[in-house]
């Protein structure tokens, strides 16, 4: 899977995904001050799914209808990075299956998904 990790995504999470063989680009490595809309454009241009902790992507996808392949919004509140990584690791198979064409919200206890407007059928 091709992913674009927003600047707020930890290096540990990015590393985990690359060890699984995913093609991941981390915004923090090249353009940490890039706007959310620019991140979505970049992801759409390269057919990447955005991995973020920023709720503003919901506005961009559902109200402004910016095109995107998929968005995974992490709303993990566990106290430590280790705990957040364990939750993410446990949910990854569901996230990976759900992400293309969807807006996926991951919390400490669940994974919810909504079809993106651009991905809806007639």
Residue 3 is predicted with a pLDDT of: 98
β-strands 102-107, 111-115 pairing = antiparallel
Cα–Cα distances in angstroms (integers) from residue 103 to residues 21, 28, 32, 40, in the given order = 22, 22, 22, 13
Domain boundaries, the chain: 2-117
pLDDT tens for the 122 residues of the chain, in order: 999 999 889 999 999 999 999 999 999 887 778 899 999 999 999 999 999 999 999 999 999 999 999 999 999 999 999 999 999 999 999 999 999 999 999 999 999 999 998 644 44
Whether this model's pTM surpasses 0.85: yes
CATH 3.40.1350 fits 2-117, yes or no: no
What percentage of the chain's residues is helix, strand, coil (to nearest 5)? 40, 25, 35
């Amino acid at each position: 899977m091709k992913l674009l990790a927003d600047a707020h995504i930890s290096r540990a999470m990015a590393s985990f995904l690359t060890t699984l063989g995913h093609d991941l680009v981390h915004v923090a490595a090249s353009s940490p001050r890039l706007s959310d809309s620019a991140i979505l454009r970049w992801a759409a241009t390269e057919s990447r799914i955005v991995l973020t902790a920023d709720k503003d992507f919901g506005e961009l996808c559902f109200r402004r209808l910016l095109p995107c392949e998929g968005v995974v919004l992490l709303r993990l509140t566990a106290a430590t990075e280790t705990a957040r990584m364990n939750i993410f690791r446990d949910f990854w198979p569901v996230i990976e299956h759900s992400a293309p064409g969807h807006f996926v919200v991951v919390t400490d206890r669940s994974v919810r998904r909504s079809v993106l407007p651009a991905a809806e059928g007639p």
